[in-house]
């Protein structure tokens, strides 16, 4: 029996190594909402769908299934904050539950790794689907203590919704889950051209060809720049990395002048729930400057966290 209001927290690779503020913000938000997060000891890379799966799909499933087995032993659904991690773990979980032959093959290989057997007793969830559907904009309004009054360019990323028939969250053609949720936080989503396209990082593109990655990203930033948002909002640390480092690359190499703060959904929600700007990571995200959300300066909470 899976524990209620409890998640096995899958950190992935990028978040704990590059963005501990997102990790801390996620823990703050979930605990404030009444959820318990359990550490997944000995968890490994998901592994990344755009790279590992392309070389050996069976071994990709075995590595992912091992992580799923760790959560099964904890009797807890998995919570991820990364689209890639979510894509891998959710897809493997669904595939092995539905395919007995593949499940037996994977379990045979899992025996070589130790006391692991995939049983299919848990689900895999993304922080955005939990916030958007289980908590909802109606529920978050009850626990936030401030709204930011700002305009955001929302980036969904690829693996959160695609392929729709596997993810079973919402159509990837016209999603609204993020926009409806952040409206309760005082944030207006500003539409921009080709909003649902890739940022250029996923699918192994960034690892294979930096030039191609930056070409895709450059087009993305051009479209975002046309609507002049206050900040860019993402739901994935890998997209987050692309938007942060990519702006610097374009400024240095393409004679651009982009300076848009990049904020993960967990950071935004944590701030609205009362987490101090410095602790939530916004001090770093906003590059050490005083930042204005819709003409209202961000002010630190007096109470210590």
Q: What is the mean predicted confidence (pLDDT) over 50-79?
A: 93
Residue whose token pair is 């360019």: 153
For residue 285, the model assigns a pLDDT of 57
**145 and 214 part of one domain:** yes
Give the residue numbers spanning the domain of 32: 6-126
Number of domains in the chain: 2
Q: What is the mean pLDDT of the chain?
A: 90
Q: What pLDDT does 208 receive?
A: 67
Does one domain contain both 206 and 269? Answer: yes
Whole-angstrom distance, CA of residue 227 vs CA of residue 190: 7
Tell me, yes or no, whether 67 and 190 share the same domain.
no
What are 199-245's pLDDT values in tens digits?
A: 998 777 776 677 899 999 999 999 999 999 999 999 999 999 999 99
Residue 252 lies in a domain: yes
CATH number of domain containing 15: 1.20.1050.140
Same domain? For 150 and 109 the reply is no
Can you tell me the distance from the alpha carbon of 26 to that of 45, in angstroms, rounded to the nearest whole number? 19
| 289 shares its domain with 161 | yes
302 belongs to a structural domain: no
Asked which of 100, 126, 152 is the last residue of a domain, the reply is 126
Which residue shows structure tokens 């975002």?
Answer: 224
Q: What is the pLDDT of residue 302?
A: 37
**Same domain, residue pair 87 and 180:** no
Tokens coding 109: 């290989």
**Last residue within a domain, chosen from 107, 126, 145:** 126
What would the mean pLDDT of 50-77 be, rounded to a whole number?
Answer: 93
Global pTM value = 0.91
131 lies in a domain? no
How far is it, in rounded angstroms, from Cα 84 to Cα 132?
Answer: 19
24 belongs to a structural domain? yes
Strands 292-293 and 124-126: unpaired
pLDDT of residue 181: 98
Residue in this structure with the two tokens 């894509």, named with its chain if needed? 87
Please indicate, yes or no, if residue 301 is contained in any of the structural domains: no
At 198, the pLDDT band (50, 70, 90 cuts) reads: very high
Same domain, 92 and 113: yes
Q: What is the mean pLDDT of residues 275-298?
A: 57
Q: Which two tokens stand for residue 144?
A: 């936030």
- My answer on whether 119 and 167 are in the same domain is no
The encoded tokens of residue 169 equal 């969250």
Residue 178 lies in a domain: yes
* CB burial readout 177-198, b (16+ within 10 A) else e: bbbebbebbbbebbebeebeeb
Per residue in 87-110, pLDDT (tens digit) is 999 999 999 999 999 999 999 999
Residues 276 and 152 in one domain: yes
Q: Does 300 fall in a domain?
A: no
88 and 173 share a domain? no
User: Are 147 and 250 in the same domain?
Assistant: yes
Instruction: Write the CATH number for 181.
Output: 3.40.50.11810
Q: Which residues pair with 154 in a beta bridge?
A: 233
Lowest mean pLDDT: which of 52-66, 213-227, 289-303? 289-303
Of 99, 126, 153, the last residue of a domain is: 126
Q: How far apart are CA 161 and CA 155, in angstroms?
A: 12
303 occurs within a structural domain: no
> Do 150 and 282 sit in the same domain of this protein?
yes
């Amino acid at each position: 029996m899976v524990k209620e209001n409890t998640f096995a927290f899958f950190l992935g690779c990028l978040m704990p190594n590059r963005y501990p503020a997102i990790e801390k913000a996620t823990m703050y938000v979930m605990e404030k909402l009444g959820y318990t997060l359990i550490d997944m000891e000995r968890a490994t890379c998901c592994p990344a769908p755009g790279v590992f799966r392309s070389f050996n799909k069976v071994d990709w499933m075995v590595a992912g299934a091992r992580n799923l087995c760790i959560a099964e032993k904890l009797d807890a659904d998995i919570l991820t904050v990364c689209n890639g991690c979510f894509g891998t773990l959710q897809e493997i979980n669904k595939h092995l539950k539905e395919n007995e032959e593949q499940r037996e093959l994977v379990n045979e290989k899992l025996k070589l790794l130790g006391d692991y057997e995939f049983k299919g007793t848990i689900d895999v969830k993304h922080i955005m689907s939990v916030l958007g559907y289980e908590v909802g904009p109606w529920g978050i309004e009850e626990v936030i203590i401030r709204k930011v009054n700002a305009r955001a360019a929302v980036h969904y990323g690829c693996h959160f919704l695609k392929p729709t028939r596997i993810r079973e969250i919402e159509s990837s053609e016209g999603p609204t889950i993020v926009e409806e949720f952040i409206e309760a936080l005082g944030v207006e989503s500003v539409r921009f051209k080709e909003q649902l396209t890739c940022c250029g990082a996923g699918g192994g593109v960034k690892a294979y060809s930096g030039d191609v990655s930056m070409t895709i990203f450059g087009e993305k930033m051009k479209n975002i720049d046309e609507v002049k948002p206050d900040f860019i909002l993402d739901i994935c640390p890998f997209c987050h990395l692309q938007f942060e480092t990519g702006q610097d690359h374009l400024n240095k190499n393409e004679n651009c002048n982009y300076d848009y703060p990049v904020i993960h959904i967990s950071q935004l929600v944590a701030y609205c729930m009362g987490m101090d700007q410095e602790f939530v990571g916004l001090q770093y995200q906003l590059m050490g400057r005083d930042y204005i959300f819709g003409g209202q300066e961000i002010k630190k909470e007096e109470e210590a966290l």
